[in-house]
Structure 1
Amino acid sequence: MKKKLLIYAHYYHPDIASTGQILKELAEGLLKQFEITVICVVPSYGGTIEEKYKIQRYYKEEINGVLVLRIRVPEFSKANKMSRIKNIISYFFGAIKATVMVGEQDYVLSVSQPPILGGLLGVWGKWVKRAKYIYQIQDFNPEQIMAVNYSKNKLLLRLMMCLDKFSCKKSNLVITVGRDLVDTLHNRFKGKKVPKVALINNWVDENEIFPLSKKNEKVAIFKKKYDLEGKFVIMYSGNIGLYYDLQNILKVIEKFGKAKTVDGRDVVFAFVGAGSILDKLVQYSHDKKLKNVVFIPYQDKTDLNYSLNAGDAHWCVNAKGIKGVSCPSKYYGLAAVGKPVLGVLEKGSEIRCLIEETRGGLVCEPGDYEGVEKNIRWFIENAGKSELYEMGIRGRRYLLEKLTREKSIRKYAEEIMKL
């Protein structure tokens, strides 16, 4: 008889949040070992909710063998802090009640989103279900909040730290997604009574995201739609939020307004996605009349392979202070399509280590804008040459050897079954 595993996911398929997509693949990948139940919000990552999810408080669905219990939450604006807080609080209390509704569970897994509350939900689930608790930390908070100065309220930050350390202590296992995040956990506890921890990398489904020919019909359609045909495309794909220093990177991009590659192609910088600072980037681009910048909406997961393949090189960036706090999982998609990476990442961070170990791109420190400019220039001057192609292929090869979806999910199953 299979053991039962409850997952608190906040966002879950079909929401396009990267964590929600990973948890969907994790849940479905663990069905051989466990009966899986997921507690999450109704589809609402963009802030709006379909009418069919506005009738009742809870909705039960089954998706590919996974029982999904969804909670109706208020709509919100990503630019409005209070509306986001109201939305998150509604999920938290809704999930507390939903926990009672899902029956007996042997294991509970929660993710570190929403900040602090995700961990506390896991503790609640452990107590109510008398289950083993696995705390999956994608982002450390309040460290992430402190890194970008989102709040300077020392009392609030101290309280958040105490609560999240409490969640770590009460867990039977902490799973982090980077070697630098493992270090952060040890530093939190100053090396004393550190909770049991395992490192398991995030992933992308390498069978869904893979290299395509430039002549691929759907890649060509994407390029034509956004006026990228015949151009050298340096792409940023993902959340356009606070943690990536994109406003300052855009100022560097401004210097390449009329740049051309050695083979005569115009250079264009494409930003694909949405987030809290998108409007600021768009406004800056408009004010400065940047003709080399294009903004493209989030792509459906079914179209993601085509949009990623439309880039000749891809950004993978974090703001200064994010090392050991968060890990940009977008890297796995870039490696999967075999594209070279333009990294702005701190030395010793998980993704920078992967890029350097594979020689899959060029990397500089956050805040080193001269380094950013130098690396952009190198990519432009070497456009069309074999070294760019080989960078991407090395990243893809390493991913297939070490970082596949199957390998990571197998590690989850093994670690959970040990408890």
Structure 2
Amino acid sequence: MSSQEKEYVLVTEYFHPETASTGQLMTDLAVGLQERGLDMTVYTGQPNYHSGDNEKQPPISTHEGVLVKRIRAPQVRQSSFVRRGFNWVVFTAWMFFALLLSQPRREREVVFVSNPPFLPVAMWLVCTLRGWDYTYIVYDLYPDFTVETGYFSEGGAVHTLWSTLNEYAFGGAKHVVALGPVMRERIAKSAGPDFDPSKIAIIHNWEDENFIEPRAKSNNWFSQEHDLVDTFTLLYSGNIGENHDLETVVEAAARLDETDDVTLLIIGEGDKKADIVSLAERHGLRGSRIKFLPYQPLDDLPYSLTAGDVSIVTVQEGMEGVCVSSKLYTALAAGQPILVISQEHDDEARIVDACDAGIQAAQGDSDAVVSAIRTWTADLSLVDDQGTNAREAFESYFTEDHSVDRYYALLDDSQSVEPDPITQESLIES
């Protein structure tokens, strides 16, 4: 049966008008696949990620030609881990029964993302019971994520059971999507000895090339408003969570001296923000060298995300292959050099190195971060060159059209997905 004769169901906790990165990406994906001729239906939740003014959405609606069905169960704002966990359980259970009891119009194929954490197991079970093919998109690899962040012990009862169930979820998938080669390798190891690694396709996340464009600080009202024009600015914007190592950057800021005219701007919220603010305060840097701002309105993002000289992308040690920061693609789109806090072989570092678009430093190595900052401040032409390289690589490999085309090829049985071009360094160099 051709892809045009199927019904495709995308299951995602976040969807328009949700401002979480997963919601924006899944909205782009559903609309893009619909525009390419696939019959898309989205099963999703109510907006709840940020504490903004997102109003409750109707249970059934249409967004740019895509049918959207939302859960009717209560959901709460995600202001704590407990509240987030409540939403995860409610969403996963609702999706399981909604799909189990649904009546497809024709042959159905399900596409789902790895969040909430137990959703893949629920989707594997319901698709197995109903006889549906499914594609498993891995944004965060569980249960590895919970082990690396200290929620469960490796080899414990929860980890063992969860790993076993996830092996079934991987094994039953028609396709598995990884965000990079390191993640692909880790999935292949986690999916069990009988798993076929050829199922895994690398499809990177993306950013809207028209929404985020390079912008000089002198022509950026956000830079002017926050006194960033005349100081060399390192910018971090996004979730401040357990899997983001901002401590190393704060410690590096504390090692700079008065001759280093450098500002660190951290925009966002998250479970670890209070700890990062306290660390900056202990060094006496909050409000001077280190500034904090809350999440910015969507309309302001083209300005806030381009307000610095260098963008920061950071992951916690041990997260190699567990996730790939969505901030990487936004930083590339912004046309700024990228300070990557990660292991040298991690996906983020490998991409930045292949594009010659920044400098990598290991987690905890604040001296390396200081060295990177001083390398840039001593050679502003390097800043310009690496920023240009970042935007050129973004336009070549990381736009919405590039990635959605690869998803379409994956789901359309008459096409094949080409190898990931970013891992072929000759293409970058050409």
Query: Quick check: TM above 0.5?
Result: yes
| Corresponding residue for residue 106 of structure 1 | 108
Tell me how far 1:190 sits from its aligned partner: 5.9
CA distance in 2, matches of 1:146, 1:227: 41
Q: What is the Cα deviation at residue 254 of structure 1?
A: 2.0
Give SS of 1:323's match. Answer: coil
Map of 1:163 onto structure 2: 165
The 1:11–1:189 alpha-carbon spacing in structure 2 relative to 1, beyond 3 Å, is closer
Residue aligning to 1:231? 231
Find the residue that maps to 1:243 and give its secondary structure. coil
Whether 2:101 is the aligned partner of 1:123: answer no
The 5-angstrom pairing of residues 177-196 of structure 1 reads 177-189=179-191, 192-194=194-196, 196=199
Report whether the alignment pairs 1:354 with 2:351: yes
Q: Which amino acid aligns with 2:166?
A: D
2: distance between equivalents of 1:137 and 1:297? 28
Kindly report the root-mean-square deviation, in angstroms, between the aligned alpha carbons of the 2 structures. Answer: 2.2
**Could you give the per-residue CA deviations for residues 52-93 of structure 1, whole angstroms, max 9, x where no partner exists?**
46xxxx7112111111112243324543x3322222101111
Which residue is equivalent to 2:331?
334
Match of 1:82 in 2: 82
Matched, 1:22 2:19: no
Could you say which residue in structure 1 is the equivalent of 2:46?
Answer: 42
> In structure 2, how many angstroms separate the alpha carbons of the residues matched to 1:107 and 1:186?
23
1:7 aligns with 2:10: yes
Q: For structure 1, which runs of at least 5 residues remain unmatched after alignment?
A: 261-265
- Structure 2 CA distance for aligned equivalents of residues 388 and 134 of structure 1: 40
In the aligned structure 2, how far is the partner of 1:88 from the partner of 1:73?
Answer: 11
| Matched-pair contact (CA < 8 Å) for 1:317–1:343 | yes
Query: Cα distance, 1:187 vs. partner?
Result: 1.5
Q: In structure 2, give the amino acid aligned to 1:139.
A: D
The CA distance in 1 between the partners of 2:257 and 2:21, in whole Å, is: 32
Check whether the contact 2:17–2:54 (CA below 8 A) recurs between aligned residues. no
Q: In the alignment, which residue of structure 2 is the partner of 1:263?
A: none
State the AA in 1 paired with 2:315. Answer: N
Note if contact 1:8-1:118 (Cα within 8 Å) is conserved in structure 2: no
CA contact (8 A) 1:257 1:292 kept: no
Judge conservation of contact 1:233–1:312 (CA < 8 Å) in 2: yes
Deviations 1:167-226 (A, max 9, x none): 11111111111100110122224664325111111111212211123343xx22x12333
Which residue of the other structure, out of 277, 280, 283, is the alignment partner of 1:285? 280
Q: Distance in 2 between matches of 1:246 and 1:207?
A: 29
- Structure 1 distance, partners of 2:134, 2:257, is 52
Contact 1:271 1:294 in 2 (8 A): yes
Q: Greater shift after overlay, 176-185 or 359-368?
A: 359-368
Name the CA distance, whole Å, in 1 between partners of 2:79 and 2:376.
34
Q: What residue number does 1:310 align with?
A: 307
| Distance of aligned partners of 1:401 and 1:213 in 2 relative to their CA distance in 1, 3 Å threshold | same
What count of residue pairs does the alignment treat as equivalent?
403
1:259-314 Cα distance to aligned partner (Å, 9 max, x none): 53xxxxx3210111111111222233334331211112222333222111111101
- Map 1:144-223 → 2, pairs under 5 A: 144-152=145-153, 154-189=156-191, 192-194=194-196, 196-216=199-219, 219-220=220-221, 222-223=222-223
Aligned partner of 1:275 in structure 2 is: 270
Quickly say closer, same or farther: Cα 1:267–1:370, change in 2 above 3 A. Answer: closer
Between the aligned partners of 1:286 and 1:257, the Cα distance in structure 2 is: 17
Give 1:170's aligned amino acid: G
Instruction: Compare 304-313 and 99-108 and name the one that shifted more.
Output: 99-108
Counterparts of 1:373 and 1:147, CA distance in 2: 27
Q: 8 Å contact 1:185–1:194 — kept in the other structure?
A: no
CA distance in 1, matches of 2:232, 2:412: 48
State the distance in 1 between where 2:378 and 2:75 align: 49
Aligned-pair CA distance for 1:231: 2.1
Distance in structure 2 (CA, Å) of the matches to 1:141 and 1:78? 22
2:214 and 2:270 map into 1 onto residues whose CA distance is 27
- C-alpha distance 204-125 of structure 1, shift in aligned 2 (>3 A): farther
Equivalent AA in structure 2 for residue 123 of structure 1:
W
1:309 match: secondary structure: coil
**What code does the residue aligned with 2:168 have?**
F
CA contact (8 A) 2:167 2:192 kept: no
**Aligned pair 1:33/2:51, yes or no?**
no
Question: Partners in 1 of 2:103 and 2:49 — Cα distance?
Answer: 24
8 Å Cα contact 1:108-1:133 kept in structure 2: yes
Structure 2 Cα separation of the partners of residues 150 and 377 of structure 1: 37
Counterpart amino acid of residue 164 in structure 2: C
Per-residue deviation, 1:128:
5.4
Q: Aligned partners of 2:91, 2:257: CA distance in 1, in Å?
A: 44
Gaps of 5+ in 2: 415-430
CA contact (8 A) 1:178 1:349 kept: no
Q: Is the 8 A contact 2:96 2:123 kept in 1?
A: no
Q: 1:47 to 1:299 in 2, by over 3 A?
A: closer
Aligned CA distance change for structure 1 residues 62 and 324 (closer, same or farther; 3 Å): same
> Residues of 2 paired with 1:379 and 1:94: CA distance?
51
SS of the residue 2:412 aligns to? helix
Structure 1 residues 342 and 5, CA gap change in structure 2 (3 angstroms): same
SS at match of 1:14: coil
Question: Is 2:228–2:308's contact at 8 Å kept on the other side of the alignment?
Answer: no
- Paired letter, 1:325: V
Distance in 2, matches of 1:44 and 1:379, equals 39
- Is 1:402 the counterpart of 2:403? The answer is no
**Equivalent position amino acid for 1:29 in 2:** G
